[in-house]
Amino acid sequence: MYFLKKPILNFLKAVLICLCFSTSANAHPHVFIQAQSELIYDASANLTGIRHHWTFDENFSIFAVQGLDSKKDGKYTREDLAELAKTNVESLSEFGYFSSGKSAGKKFEFTDPKDQWLEFSNKKLTLHFFLPLKVPVSGKTVTFEVYDSTYYVDFSFADINPVTLSGAPASCMVTMKKPPQIDTAKSKNLSEDFFTQMSSSNNYGAGFATHALIVCP
């Protein structure tokens, strides 16, 4: 099994080659992740980090777990998937952990992820990990997104509990704002070369991101 020792996007591209997808399946984006994010607050109501839960699409998931079934019974334990979870989160820093946030005009800065683990259920792989902030955020208004700037990976928030708060004041409110539908349609008219030559600095994927707005009293 080829573990994710290279950056995650390189691994995802390798997955596509190995799966021999048809031309129609190669249109951007290539990999789909449904996200749930839990914002963690301390006793002083400061935001300290984000606990992510990312569920990969079935094609990627089935390929990623090949060879990791230690008992050959079709079941994957947390121990079976531990090394894959570790290499996944270690590869995220180059891409800013696909996480972006801001409060009082200042962008979030993150430290290394921790408490990572993977589970495989209903033919889908879910990555769980905690992403700490370098400095706790005390702002009463926070904006937050999860996206791939090159739009190679499509992140969408789950319909149920997309963004939740843990430890925050009870009066804090979360509002989700989806991107315009026209943005998604526009990407289908662009060539694969357009995306291949794109660097993360283009930040193209931001146009497809759902924004979470958290307002506290």
List strands edge to edge, sheet with 173-177: 106-107, 99-103, 141-146, 211-215, 173-177
Q: What residues contact residue 14 under an 8 Å CB cut-off, 6+ apart?
A: 2
DSSP β-bridge partners for residue 103? 106, 142
Q: What pLDDT digit, counting tens, does each position of 169-180 carry?
A: 999 999 999 987
- Contact present, 48 and 109 (Cβ < 8 Å): no
Q: Write the pLDDT tens digit of every residue in 132-154.
A: 999 999 989 999 999 998 888 88
Confidence of residue 95 (pLDDT cuts 50, 70, 90): confident
* pLDDT interval class at 80 (50, 70, 90): confident
Q: Are 141 and 217 contacting, i.e. CB atoms less than 8 angstroms apart?
A: no
Residue 63 vs residues 16, 97, 127, 149, 151: alpha-carbon distances, Å: 10, 22, 15, 24, 21
Pick from 28, 20, 1: which is nearest to 183 by CA? 28
Q: How far apart are CA 184 and CA 28, in angstroms?
A: 10
Measure CA 88 to chain center. Answer: 11
The distance in angstroms from the start CA to the end CA of the chain is 50
